[in-house]
Structure 1
Amino acid sequence: MRWIQAFAVYVSVSLLVACATPTTDPERLPAGSWQLDPAHASVVWEVQHFGLSWYVGRFDTVDASLEFDPARPDAAQLTAIIDPHSISTGDTAFDRELAEDWFRADAHPQIRFVSQRIEITGETEGRAYGTLYMKGQASEAVMDITFNGGLFNPLEGRNAMGFSARMEVDRRSHGIGSLPETILGHTVRIRIEAEFLEGGEAE
């Protein structure tokens, strides 16, 4: 009797592992609307400080939606929204200063990226060309994206897919901070990790 129970456990674990093997073939994933899983997403930024190091922070409140057609991955449409009030550096007082004075978050409560077109550059790589809206100003932006794959997530009971992305923003384009480049670099590097769930966000 024990061997039957052990075999059943083995089969269950094997099926779970099989379900948890991502595919990078977009045609094996369903078309439709996908929503960011905020529990499995991060937006980290870094900017040079006196040319000595990269000062690192993050945004803690992020949302995004993705319209996806496996037959035409280059036609995907991405909208990402960040709450500038959620900026986090580990220094609460400085976080408040950044949100209120640098980002004017009360007057401009959203940072948005809206893709205009997608360029497929490799088997799992692409670029999203779009518009970045921040502090009341718009600028062209390019996001380099790596598709990490998709699978049926048995913990959520639905399909999921994941991406890693990088982009650079010139803070002067949006009037973020007035410090000279000798103190604070003009280029802000942004690193994004994101998982999307089919049809809606995690409960």
Structure 2
Amino acid sequence: MRLPLAFAPAFGLAAGLLAALPAAAEPYAMDRSHAAVIFSVDHVGFSVIHGRFNDFSADIDYDPENLAGSSVSFTLQAGSIDTGWDARDQHIKSGDMLDVENHPEITFVSKSVEVISDTQAKVTGEVTIKGVTNEETFDVTLNKTGPSPLDPDVTVVGFTIEGELDRTAYGVDYFAPAVAATMPVRIDLEASPAK
């Protein structure tokens, strides 16, 4: 179809603008075998207890050309908490703390990404624990992007996400502040474009 000559400049301008727009973020699939959600808690100054969640999932939309347009959400199964001591884990799962029977999931849903550098960003979003939602900001490090060592046709991207949560802000205040309220949190993950 030929455009009338009068419309050609406008069409060319629109095409140029569209070409300049960043591509939309695309779904990436987390490699669950190379991902971890870990945390630590100071125990009355005597020691630091380390724990993890063994059951979690992530929805990742990632655009390497426009990091600010990327997004992520995590869902942790609260009952999968593992601190290496079953009696403690059962207490954490109880109504005194996480109350997993009534609040089986812990979630994070990103709202914005602030790009700091080619490898650093801050992601802000809503964390929900025990039915309480607060806005939190985490530091994100892009560790590496490259072909998979198992399949060079597959691109792998690796991230480390770090921050701190005040558990008392979510109603998990048992034995605080003797057992620290502020908990460092770290997520390590690898992901590839979803098939």
TM-score category of the 2 structures, normalised to the smaller one: 0.7 to 0.9
Partner of 1:63: 57
Cα distance in 1 between the residues matched to 2:52 and 2:155:
27
Instruction: Name the larger-Rg structure.
Output: 2
- Report sequence identity in percent: 28
Give how far 1:32 is off.
Answer: 1.2
**1:46 equivalent in structure 2:** 40
Per-residue deviation at 1:177? 3.5
CA deviation vs aligned residue, 1:19-66 (integer Å, no higher than 9, x gap): xxxxxxxxxxx9510121111101111111112332211111121121
Tell me if structure 1 keeps the 8 A contact 2:25–2:69. no
Alignment of 1:132-151 (within 5 A): 132-151=127-146
Q: Provide, for residues 92-134 of structure 1, a one-character-per-residue CA deviation record: whole Å limited to 9, x for no partner.
A: 2221221233111121111111110001112201100111011
TM-score scaled by structure 2?
0.81
Whole-angstrom distance in 2 between the partners of 1:139 and 1:152:
37
Contact 2:173 2:181 in 1 (8 A): no
Q: 2-side partners of 1:150 and 1:31: how far apart?
A: 16
Aligned residues: 170
Greater shift after overlay, 30-39 or 81-90?
30-39
Q: Distance in 2 between matches of 1:70 and 1:88?
A: 34
Distance (whole Å) between structure 1 residues aligned to residue 114 and residue 25 of structure 2: 18
C-alpha distance in structure 2 between counterparts of 1:128 and 1:64, whole Å: 15
The partner residue of 2:179 within 184, 189, 196 is 184
What is the match of residue 89 of structure 1?
83
The amino acid that maps onto 1:62 is F
Greater relative CO, 1 or 2 (CA 8 Å, sep 6+): 1
1:1-203 alignment runs, 5 A limit: 31-101=25-95, 102-155=97-150, 158-181=154-177, 183-199=178-194
Give me the whole-angstrom Cα distance separating, in 1, the residues matched to 2:137 and 2:25. Answer: 24
**Alpha-carbon deviation of 1:198?**
1.4
Q: TM-score, normalised by structure 1?
A: 0.78
Match of 2:101, SS state, is: coil
Give 4+ residue runs of structure 1 displaced > 6 Å after superposition. none
CA distance, structure 2, for counterparts of residue 115 and residue 195 of structure 1: 18
Cα drift, residue 150 of structure 1: 1.7
Structure 1 gap segments, 5+ residues each = 1-29
